[in-house]
């Protein structure tokens, strides 16, 4: 029987090659099946930051509006909050997005409109962006419902986290509420009648 340089019979080595090839083929099929059943990561909206993300599809042309890293910066419960996020337009036409936040049954919802250029972005909450200030929030560590709707008819609901104004978000502290101006109350009591002034007479 022929022997190889390592002393093992050549027949035994050749017999092991088909087994190794079969094992590699089975592993390739297994990996292919996993990639086929798993969705592409880049096609699935996910939140790389502290906020939440979602897409609003435009039924007219199949493009979408991307809501990226939306969150609310607020301190204790009941304090004002600032909505922060980015709106991305993947379509060839400008789009207006309405953002609404439900502040509870005792306070009216807050709604703003954001104009997003074609193939462009618009900031919400930054110094150069559109401002959305909430008069009342559930406080840091809680979640708050929001809704985004476009002029094309698409809409999506979001559950946005509320974060404390610390670290990166320290500069995004919402402004203090504007104090209401009350009218000066009128003096109480019955005013005294004015003393009549005698009219002047003309001498004949």
Cβ neighbours around 82 below 10 Å, total: 22
Sign of CA dihedral 5, 6, 10, 16: negative
Q: How far apart are the first and last CA of the chain?
A: 164
State the pTM of this model: 0.64
The pLDDT, as a whole number, for residue 78 is 76
Q: How confident is the model at residue 45 (pLDDT cuts 50, 70, 90)?
A: very low
Specify the residue for token string 């600032």.
82
Show Cβ contacts of residue 145 under 8 Å, excluding neighbours closer than 6 positions: 101, 102, 157, 158, 159, 160
User: To the nearest whole number, what is the mean pLDDT of the chain?
Assistant: 76
Helix, coil or strand: residue 120 = coil
| DSSP, res 66 | E
CA–CA separation, 179 vs 67, rounded Å? 33
CA–CA separation, 63 vs 41, rounded Å? 18
pLDDT digits (tens, 9 = 90+) for 86-106: 999 999 999 999 999 987 666
Indicate the length of the chain as a whole number.
204
CATH number of 42-172: 2.60.40.1890
């Amino acid at each position: 029987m022929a022997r190889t340089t390592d002393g093992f019979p050549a027949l035994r080595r050749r017999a092991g090659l088909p087994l190794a090839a079969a094992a590699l083929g089975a592993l390739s099929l297994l990996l292919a099946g996993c990639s086929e059943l798993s969705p592409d990561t880049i096609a699935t909206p996910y939140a790389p930051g502290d906020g939440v993300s979602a897409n609003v599809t435009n039924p007219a042309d199949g493009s979408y509006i991307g809501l990226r890293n939306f969150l609310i910066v607020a301190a204790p419960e009941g304090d004002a909050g600032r909505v922060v996020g980015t709106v991305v337009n993947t379509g060839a036409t400008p789009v207006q997005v309405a953002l609404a936040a439900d502040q509870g049954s005792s306070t009216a919802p807050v709604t703003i409109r954001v104009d997003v250029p074609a193939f462009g972005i618009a900031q919400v909450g930054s110094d150069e962006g559109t401002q959305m200030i909430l008069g009342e929030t559930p406080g840091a560590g809680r979640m708050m419902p929001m809704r985004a709707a476009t002029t094309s008819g698409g809409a999506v609901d979001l559950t946005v986290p509320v974060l404390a104004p610390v670290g990166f978000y320290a500069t995004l502290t919402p402004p203090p509420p504007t104090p209401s101006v009350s009218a000066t109350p009128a003096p109480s009591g019955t005013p005294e009648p004015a003393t009549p002034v005698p009219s002047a007479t003309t001498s004949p």
